[in-house]
Structure 1
Amino acid sequence: MHSKIVFIFIFFGCLTLVSSQLFCSDLLKRNHTKFYPVRHCQRSNKTRIAAKNVANLNKCIQFAENNQALAFNFGHGKRPQKKGDQDGDLLNLFDVKREKEENKTKIEKNLQELVENSDPYFNCEVLSCPEVGNMSTMINDTRFDYYSLYGNAPQNATCFPSVGLFMYYYDDRMNYTEATSTCEGHRGYLAQIQQVFDINKSPVISQSTLNENVGAPLKIPIRHAFIGLKEVGRKGSFADSLGIPLQCYRYRAWAPKFPSEEKRLGCVALTASRSWKMFDCRKHAPFICELKPTKPRRINRRKFNRRCSLKRPNN
């Protein structure tokens, strides 16, 4: 009898554990992101994580996801089989046009030098950061189209490579509810703890270096900033900005004596020492917004099938 009770207890314990894992897995899958076509006949000159030749767009997307890229350049045309194969997409025709205009008498020699001096061609270049605002590092290039998770990112967004785009509010202090509304107004939410974990692996989260990733200089020392984690329903029950329970994450960074046992439900802030502390949600404090991946304002997918024009705008 005793053994049967133990068996039943273990069985239902395992069942509860599996159900919890499936529940968390389902919630986390819903946060899947998508790459959008953003610019035709252009490529981004942002930092390249990796590059390779792939058979099609889906393979490039897979390569980007495997390398935790936030954007990529993809060449739809025929891939060159060897260096100097001008039947492929080795040459950027905008460069060819410029060479012709600058020196018409030596064009054949110049084109050969252009081929020899060009970097090895790969039709899939994955990038650690996307273009933001006016996309100032885009380059006209007939070999590529540009794809990004963030088709419409504000100019003052800060990129953490391979993590995401964030906006920092260190001067405009708000309570947790106001901070949440402000982030939502910028198509985002208070930073998720998994992303905070990835940021924490970078040296930028410290009082001495936070300012390096903010457009305006810091006027006061930053001790803490609200992130997307708060108690919901009852004490000790936490959920992030998307309603995902804390139990679905392995990462924890509680400071000593936290989480606190005060009666009032608390909201979590990230400190300059990379730990979590709880505060009254009514407290006015700095905060960190994480931007959602967004599609461009206008997407005309048909234009991505057109040949590149050297005379008229391609976008």
Structure 2
Amino acid sequence: MHSKFIRILVFFGCLTIISSQLFCSDLLKRNHTKFHPVRHCQRSNKTRIAAKNVANLNKCIQFAEHNQALAFNFGHGKRPRKKGDQVGDLLNLFDVKRAKEENKTKIEKDLHALEENTDPYFDCEVLSCPEVGNMSSLINDTRFDYYTLYGYAPENSTCFPSVGLFMYYYDERMNYTEATSTCEGHRGYLARIVSDIRTNFISFMIQQQIFDINKATVGILQSTFNESVNVPLEIPIKHAFIGLKELRRKGNFVDSLDIPLKCFLYRAWAPKYPSEESRPGCVAITASRSWKMFDCRKRAPFICELKPTKPRRINRRKFNRRCSLKRSNN
């Protein structure tokens, strides 16, 4: 009888563990992202992490997802071409046009030089970071279109390669609720940090900001007093709110996507944290790569993570058209 009772307890214990794992797995799969076409007949010159020739757009998307890319350039080999054009698909026709305009008497030689100096061609180039702001790294290229997870990417956002875009509000102090609303207003949420790579990167953002403020302040003092200042100044930026908070039940934490902390193995609590205070707390990350709990009413800097978003306006049909050499942005 005693043995049978133990077996029943073990059975229900295993069932609870399996149910918990399935619950967490389902939550983590819901964070699905989608690439959007943003620029026609242009490619991004951002850092390329991998490239290959693929059969179609879906294969390029799969290749980008496998390499944790945030954007990619895709070459539409079947795009309609100008009738009678004999220049091969491996050349960017904007380069051909420029070569003809610069040296009209040596067209054949110039085209041969273009072919010789062109990098190996792959119709799927996946990128670790997307274009932001005015997309200054885009290049006119008739071979490619540019796709990205981030149709909305402000100029002041910081790319964490292969992870996402972040915005650091180091010069503003808000409580946790206000910080959450501010992030949502920028199509984002308080940054998720439940992994070693995320914690290390976001802590580095704080360290870099402290360094930049120190450097700028020292420069002001040097120019004002015309003397060398060798001692680093004390800057009141030691931590920033991120997307992890405690629920009313003590010890139960959820991130910005309402995924319980128990679904992750990684922890980076500072010594003596999480604390056993009576009021549920909100979590901040420190420059020393650790997590601390604070009263959610405390005002502190904070870090937002931008959601992958589709562009405000896009005409998908034009991506099947032939590139126009008369317009830099097709």
The TM-score with structure 2 as length reference comes to 0.88
Where does residue 302 of structure 2 map in the other structure?
287
Where does residue 70 of structure 1 map in the other structure?
70
Q: Distance in 2 between matches of 1:89 and 1:12?
A: 63
Seen in structure 2, the aligned counterparts of structure 1 residues 221 and 119 have a Cα distance that, compared at 3 Å, is: farther
Q: Distance in 1 between matches of 2:125 and 2:95?
A: 19
Whether the 8 Å CA contact 2:191–2:305 is kept in 1: the answer is: yes
SS of alignment partner, residue 105 of structure 1: helix
1:105 aligns to 2:105 (yes or no): yes
- Residue type of the partner of 1:297? R
Q: Distance in 1 between matches of 2:102 and 2:210?
A: 44
- C-alpha deviation, 1:276, in angstroms: 0.3
1:224 aligns to 2:239 (yes or no): yes
Q: Distance in 2 between matches of 1:49 and 1:291?
A: 22
Where does residue 157 of structure 2 map in the other structure?
157
Bigger Cα displacement from structure 2, 16-25 vs 269-278: 16-25
Paired residues for 1:16-95 under 5 Å: 16-77=16-77, 88-95=88-95
Q: In angstroms, what is the RMSD of aligned CA positions?
A: 2.2
Where does residue 180 of structure 2 map in the other structure?
180
Identity of aligned residues (%): 79
Residues 134-180 of structure 1, C-alpha deviations (whole Å, 9 max, x = no match): 10110000000000000111111110111100000111010000000
Seen in structure 2, the aligned counterparts of structure 1 residues 147 and 110 have a Cα distance that, compared at 3 Å, is: same
Where does residue 272 of structure 2 map in the other structure?
257
Q: Which runs of 5+ in 1 are unaligned?
A: 80-85
* Structure possessing the higher radius of gyration over alpha carbons: 2
Q: Distance in 1 between matches of 2:272 and 2:160?
A: 30
- Residue type of the partner of 2:321? R
SS of alignment partner, residue 288 of structure 2: coil
Q: Which runs of 5+ in 2 are unaligned?
A: 80-85, 218-233
Residues 90-140 of structure 1, C-alpha deviations (whole Å, 9 max, x = no match): 100000000010101100011000110111111111101000111011000
Paired residues for 1:124-273 under 5 Å: 124-194=124-194, 197-202=196-201, 205=204, 208-210=207-209, 220-273=235-288
- C-alpha deviation, 1:198, in angstroms: 2.3
Residues 25-50 of structure 1, C-alpha deviations (whole Å, 9 max, x = no match): 11111111111111110000111111
Q: Distance in 2 between matches of 1:36 and 1:211?
A: 36
Whether the 8 Å CA contact 1:78–1:88 is kept in 2: the answer is: no
- C-alpha deviation, 1:206, in angstroms: 6.5
Seen in structure 2, the aligned counterparts of structure 1 residues 213 and 296 have a Cα distance that, compared at 3 Å, is: farther
Q: Distance in 2 between matches of 1:294 and 1:281?
A: 29
- Residue type of the partner of 1:272? A
Seen in structure 2, the aligned counterparts of structure 1 residues 240 and 204 have a Cα distance that, compared at 3 Å, is: closer
- C-alpha deviation, 1:217, in angstroms: 6.4
Whether the 8 Å CA contact 1:192–1:228 is kept in 2: the answer is: yes
Seen in structure 2, the aligned counterparts of structure 1 residues 247 and 217 have a Cα distance that, compared at 3 Å, is: farther
Whether the 8 Å CA contact 1:206–1:274 is kept in 2: the answer is: no
- Residue type of the partner of 1:273? S
Where does residue 120 of structure 1 map in the other structure?
120
- C-alpha deviation, 1:199, in angstroms: 3.1
Seen in structure 2, the aligned counterparts of structure 1 residues 89 and 212 have a Cα distance that, compared at 3 Å, is: farther
Where does residue 314 of structure 2 map in the other structure?
299
Q: Distance in 1 between matches of 2:183 and 2:134?
A: 21
